[in-house]
């Protein structure tokens, strides 16, 4: 995620940029941020999740959406992009700035990177909570097998961490499971010594 600091953008200028660009841009207080361009591991994880969930939900009234779907987040207008989103039931869209924006995601998934991990775990999660239908969040590391699941139960957010590749994560929002080995299929992690050196810098 990188900022375009050329000038302060109006919402109208942002809508035109986002509508006409092949890249994904997010807007905040006059600045626009390029959300495009991901690592090989990130791309594989995203494809793995979408393909596995789509297969499991094929015969149900559920949908899985990729990263180019805009989400209405009332706390951070006009909209945000997530890596993956999903819901069961009818998808509802609203026109914002001339584009379709999904208003009722239930599951939101973010694949973490060094530049976005703190934001995805903190401020962005807080912002996502303003989506009335949002009730489950998955945070997926891409440099090691590590999944944090946060889901809502009786108005309380429950946190669970998973690191065993043979573990299946039950997703209450969709009533299905994802195994870590499925999420990380064909993903190569950096060697441990590289991770240790990175952590020391």
Q: For 5-32, how does the pLDDT look when each residue is reduced to its tens digit (9 = 90+)?
A: 457 899 999 999 888 888 888 888 888 8
Answer yes or no: is pLDDT of 64 > 70.
yes
pLDDT tens per residue, range 89-141: 999 999 999 999 999 999 999 999 888 899 999 999 999 999 999 999 999 99
What local confidence, expressed as pLDDT, does residue 35 receive?
75
Q: What pLDDT does residue 34 have?
A: 80
The CA-based dihedral angle spanning residues 68, 57, 44, 147, taken in that order and rounded to the nearest 10 degrees: 100
Q: Is the pLDDT of residue 196 over 80?
A: no
pLDDT digits (tens, 9 = 90+) for 135-184: 999 999 999 999 999 999 998 999 999 999 999 999 999 999 999 999 99
Place of tokens 């934001």: 119
Backbone angles phi, psi at 180, to 5 degrees: -60, -35
Residue 190: per-residue pLDDT = 87
The pLDDT-based confidence of 193 (bands split at 50, 70, 90) is low
Pair 64, 84: CB distance under 8 Å = yes
Partners of 3 in beta bridges: 33
What pLDDT score does 3 carry? 46
User: Containing H/E element for 196?
Assistant: helix 192-200
Q: Are 14 and 23 in contact (CB under 8 A)?
A: no
In this structure, what are the phi and psi dihedrals at residue 184, rounded to the nearest 5 degrees? -105, 20
Which residues make beta-bridge pairs with 47? none
Residue 6, pLDDT score? 57
**What is the average per-residue pLDDT within 62-74?**
96
pLDDT at 36: 66
Give the Cα separation of 34 and 105 in Å (integer).
22
Residue 200 has pLDDT above 50, yes or no: no
Q: What is the pTM of this model?
A: 0.87
161 DSSP β-pair partners = 148
DSSP bridge partners of 152: 157
Greatest alpha-carbon span in the chain: 49
Q: Does the pLDDT at position 2 exceed 70?
A: no
Q: CA 18 from chain center: how many Å?
A: 18
């Amino acid at each position: 995620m990188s900022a375009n600091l050329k000038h302060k953008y109006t919402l109208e200028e942002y809508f035109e940029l986002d509508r006409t660009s092949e890249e994904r841009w997010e807007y905040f207080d006059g600045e626009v941020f390029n959300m495009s361009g991901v690592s090989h591991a990130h791309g594989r994880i995203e494809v793995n999740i979408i393909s596995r969930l789509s297969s499991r939900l094929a015969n149900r009234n559920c949908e899985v959406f990729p990263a180019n779907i805009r989400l209405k987040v009332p706390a951070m207008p006009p909209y945000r992009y997530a890596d993956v989103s999903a819901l069961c039931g009818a998808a509802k869209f609203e026109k914002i700035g001339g584009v379709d924006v999904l208003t009722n995601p239930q599951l939101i998934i973010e694949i973490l990177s060094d530049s976005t991990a703190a934001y995805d775990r903190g401020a962005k999660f807080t912002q996502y909570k303003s989506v009335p239908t949002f009730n489950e969040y998955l945070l997926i590391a891409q440099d090691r097998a590590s999944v944090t699941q946060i889901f809502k139960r009786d108005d309380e957010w429950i946190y669970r961490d998973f690191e065993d590749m043979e573990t299946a994560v039950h997703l209450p929002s969709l009533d299905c499971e994802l195994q870590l080995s499925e999420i990380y299929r064909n993903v190569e992690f950096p060697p441990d010594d590289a991770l240790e050196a990175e952590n020391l810098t």
